[in-house]
Amino acid sequence: MTEKHVWPKRFFTAMDSIYIPCNYCKHRIGNTITCTAYPQGIPKELMLREEHDTPFPGDNGIRFEPKE
């Protein structure tokens, strides 16, 4: 079973001032911290990367693609 990622509440208060590529990716599911690659929660380490254009553990080959 995949472990669900738990984010500290204070992280969300700072999200508006941080560039998070996930916000602009077509794979993101609504206004959540989940996506097609990580339906149990996007790993914090990945969300804070500049881009998700190279393999990351557990992404099943799904990478950043801009929203249309």
Query: How many domains does the chain fold into?
Result: 1
The per-residue pLDDT for 2 is: 55
The answer to whether position 45 is within a domain reads yes
In a domain, 33, yes or no: yes
Is 15 a domain residue?
Answer: no
Whether residue 47 lies inside any domain: the answer is: yes
Establish if 59 belongs to a structural domain: no
Expressed as residue numbers, the domain containing 37 is 21-52
Cut 0.85: pTM above it: no
pLDDT 10s digits, 3-61: 565 555 555 555 556 678 888 899 999 988 899 999 999 998 887 777 889 999 999 99
Residue 35 CA to residue 48 CA, distance in Å, equals 15
Q: Could you give the CA distance from residue 68 to residue 48 in angstroms, rounded to a whole number?
A: 22
Using one digit for the tens of pLDDT, what is the confidence trace for 33-46? 899 999 999 998 88
pLDDT the model gives residue 17: 62
